[in-house]
Amino acid sequence: MTHLANGHAHSRSWASAFGRASRLTAIGLDTDDRGVFAVQLARGRSGWALRSVLSISTPSLDPDESSEPSLAELLERSGFSGKRAIAPAPADKLIRSLLDLPARQAGLPLDQIAAQELARVHRTDVDALQTAWWELPHPTRGSDATPALALGLAHADAEAYTDRLEAQGVEIERLETRGVALARAASGVLRQCGGVSAIAYLGWNQASILIYAKGTIVYERAVDELRALPVHVALSERLELDPELVMHAMEHIGLVGDGRRDSLPHEAVAILREHVDAIASELHASFSYVAHRYNDEDLGRVLLAGPHASIPGLASTIAERLGAECDLLTPAMLVEVPESLQSFAEASRLCTAIGLAMPASQNQRLAEDSA
Amino acid sequence: MNAINLLPAHRIVRQARRRRRRLWTGIVIAYALATGLGAGSYWLANRTAADLTAELASLVRESAETKAAWARSSALLQQKRQRLAAGSVAGRHADWSLLLAYLAQARGDQIVYETIDIQPRATATNPASPGSPLTPGFSILLEGWSVSPLVAQEFAVRLEQSALFDRVTLVENKTGERQGLAAAMFRVACDLDGSRVPTLAEVPDAKP
């Protein structure tokens, strides 16, 4: 299934193309094993607005399958401008560590130290690793050290992944993490919550939890147990249904129909409840760690994002389990959604792409506004 | 945390280099286009001015040549006209040989010419019709001696009667002495119409 949408009429004149290019973002390109979700933003009246959207299910990004239109062609048909794209790094290849770096001093090469330390912890060659790190708030019971969250991606993995995407005609300008992209997109929402908030990204074959506190990501972890794939497999086996029907049942019936005629069979509901329990449990564990580290018991808000976060009843059940507010993160909460793209206003699967497309300065502006 | 990039550094450098190259290519192309456009416009403008100048110079030269040719032609025309006029004048005068032959024959034995003066007749009013100029012609003044004034008078009448002349006037006729003999000195003015050439038929007993 493919959704192509463009919030503006096509106009190919040079002048208009130049004008558009100056106020458009790069393409936020989120991919997983079951779909490609791309977003391009334009400056709206009061911030960024959705301008073009591409949402494809079960795509083929294999460059050998040349019969399919390339991703660049699909993007162009959907009204995207340019080929510059920002993609999330493959989560299963990312390495993460919480580090205690030396206290900041003038001339101290913290970048090199963080990279060395991350490579040492994961027993890999620092020269074959691209790293990023950011400073965390000092924990309540901490030393003078600089607490940091460091991320790394092996050059070989980055090259392979980027080459695969660029074979589709796009130009990968940056590789980020979904957590960073989601935090940037939702920073305004998260800051309004106060205390400690969380975003659970629930994808087909990738899932992660990030905790946001004191204006930054203080914790991020990939949690394979929360992926939709195992749930889908279990449901397919239990219900003995076509995979597409199972997918439809997950997305449209979920937990809401529990106990009614149109609800899923008890066995299926039990599988979904197990899945929800796992999510709640992981969130609770992550919250507990952060609360302990920062001595902050105030659980703010849980946001669910990703292609499989919109299971009916999921947010309410998690809210009930955790005793905290839990909502589905939607494009409408992050950017202006024009009338022509209203069908995507609640599409949580686009949130990562929105975050990727959103310029970094936007995060700062929203943070300042909310402050 | 605001933004990170996990692309390998060498790829970022390559990308930046590619972007710079693309940018500079664009700038160079734009510069080349702008320069070409400017140079083209300048060249075109200058070429037009040069062309106009050359064309103007050519026209001026042609004009001068035409003027010179016209002047030469005018001079030639004038010369031809004069020659034509002279030829015309020369072509219309009387046949002097016939006239002189007649005058020689008309004098008889009793008259001797001392002078025969032929002059183009000056423009004068035609006495026959006042106000209209006399047609161009010749004035012939005959001076000489006769044996008597009567003979001179008869001679003038004879000339008048010959119808060769428009008018014959006996200007002077007085007695005198020539070589010890009594004689009469006379002067007769004859007007000859220049447009009329005397022919043999007109000249009585003419023997050219």
CB contacts, 8 Å: A89 with chain B: 6
Q: Please give the pLDDT value at position A63.
A: 53
Band (pLDDT 50/70/90 cuts) for residue A7 is very low
Q: Could you give the CA distance from residue A201 to residue A30 in angstroms, rounded to a whole number?
A: 12
**Range A101-117 average pLDDT:** 88
Mean pLDDT of chain A: 83
Of the candidates B23, B19, B29, B4, the residue with the CA atom closest to the CA atom of residue A171: B19
Q: Within an 8 Å CB–CB cutoff, is residue B35 touching chain A?
A: no
Q: What angle do CA A163, A166, A171 make, to 5 degrees?
A: 125
Band (pLDDT 50/70/90 cuts) for residue A369 is very low
Position with higher pLDDT, B68 vs A106: B68
Cβ contact (<8 Å) for A180 and B9? no
Tokens of A318: 């998690």
Contacts of A28 (CB under 8 A, 6+ apart): A38, A39, A40, A41, A85, A86, A181, A352, A353, A354, A355, A356, A357, A358
Band (pLDDT 50/70/90 cuts) for residue A370 is very low
Q: Within an 8 Å CB–CB cutoff, is residue B33 touching chain A?
A: no
**Is the pLDDT at A334 greater than 60, yes or no?**
yes
Band (pLDDT 50/70/90 cuts) for residue A243 is confident
From the list A132, A155, A364, which residue is nearest B8 (CB)?
A: A155
Band (pLDDT 50/70/90 cuts) for residue A117 is very high
**Is the pLDDT at A365 greater than 80, yes or no?**
no
Q: What angle do CA A92, A94, A98 make, to 5 degrees?
A: 125
Phi and psi torsions of B197, nearest 5°: -100, 125
Percentage of residues in chain B with pLDDT exceeding 90? Answer: 25
pLDDT in tens, A15-63: 455 555 568 999 999 988 778 899 999 987 788 999 999 998 765 565 5
> By the 8 A CB rule, do B101 and B206 touch?
yes
> By the 8 A CB rule, do B94 and B138 touch?
yes
Position with higher pLDDT, B129 vs A118: A118
CB contacts, 8 Å: B2 with chain A: 184, 360, 363-364
SS3 B163: coil
**Range A234-258 average pLDDT:** 79
Percentage of residues in chain A with pLDDT exceeding 70? Answer: 85
* Residue with tokens 């025309």, as numbered in its chain: B77
Q: Please give the pLDDT value at position B68.
A: 92
**Is the pLDDT at A115 greater than 90, yes or no?**
yes
The whole-angstrom distance between residue A358's C-alpha and the CA centroid of its chain comes to: 13
Q: Within an 8 Å CB–CB cutoff, is residue A152 touching chain B?
A: yes
What is the DSSP secondary structure assignment for residue B125, as one 8-state letter?
B
CB contacts, 8 Å: B8 with chain A: 130, 155, 158-159
The B residues from 5 to 24 touching A (CB cutoff 8 Å) are 5-11, 15
CA distances from A53 to A26, A84, A164, B43 (A): 12, 15, 21, 50
Q: Could you give the CA distance from residue A167 to residue B104 in angstroms, rounded to a whole number?
A: 133
* Residue with tokens 């960024």, as numbered in its chain: A48
SS3 B66: helix
From the list B2, B3, B4, which residue is nearest A151 (CB)?
A: B4
Cβ contact (<8 Å) for A183 and B7? no
Of the candidates A189, A216, A208, A194, the residue with the CA atom closest to the CA atom of residue A299: A194
pLDDT in tens, B56-75: 888 999 999 999 999 998 89
Ordered alpha helix ranges (H), chain A: 14-23, 71-77, 110-121, 155-166, 178-193, 228-239, 243-252, 266-294, 314-322, 331-334, 351-357, 360-370
Q: Could you give the CA distance from residue A41 to residue A21 in angstroms, rounded to a whole number?
A: 11
**Is the pLDDT at A153 greater than 90, yes or no?**
yes
**Is the pLDDT at A311 greater than 90, yes or no?**
no
**Range A227-248 average pLDDT:** 84
Can you give the pTM of this predicted structure?
0.66
Cβ contact (<8 Å) for B11 and A162? yes
Percentage of residues in chain B with pLDDT exceeding 70? Answer: 79
> By the 8 A CB rule, do A70 and A58 touch?
no
Q: Could you give the CA distance from residue A25 to residue A80 in angstroms, rounded to a whole number?
A: 10
Helical axes A266-294 vs A314-322, angle rounded to 10°:
50
Q: Please give the pLDDT value at position A50.
A: 93
Mean pLDDT of chain B: 81
Q: Please give the pLDDT value at position B16.
A: 87
Q: Could you give the CA distance from residue A135 to residue A143 in angstroms, rounded to a whole number?
A: 14
CB contacts, 8 Å: B16 with chain A: none
Q: How many CB atoms lie within 10 A of CB B64?
A: 10
**Is the pLDDT at B55 greater than 50, yes or no?**
yes
Instruction: Count Cα atoms within 13 angstroms, Cβ side, for A74.
Output: 24
Lowest mean pLDDT among A53-57, A230-234, A362-366, B128-132: A362-366
Band (pLDDT 50/70/90 cuts) for residue A113 is very high
Phi and psi torsions of B47, nearest 5°: -60, -40
Lowest mean pLDDT among A69-83, A246-260, B15-29: A246-260
Q: Could you give the CA distance from residue B44 to residue A29 in angstroms, rounded to a whole number?
A: 51
What is the DSSP secondary structure assignment for residue A123, as one 8-state letter?
T
Q: How does strand A84-88 pair with strand A27-32?
A: parallel
Q: Please give the pLDDT value at position A9.
A: 39
Band (pLDDT 50/70/90 cuts) for residue B133 is low
Q: Please give the pLDDT value at position A367.
A: 38
From the list A151, A159, A217, which residue is nearest B8 (CB)?
A: A159
Q: Could you give the CA distance from residue A216 to residue A191 in angstroms, rounded to a whole number?
A: 10
Q: Please give the pLDDT value at position A366.
A: 38
pLDDT in tens, B16-44: 898 899 899 999 999 999 999 998 888 77
Position with higher pLDDT, A188 vs A4: A188
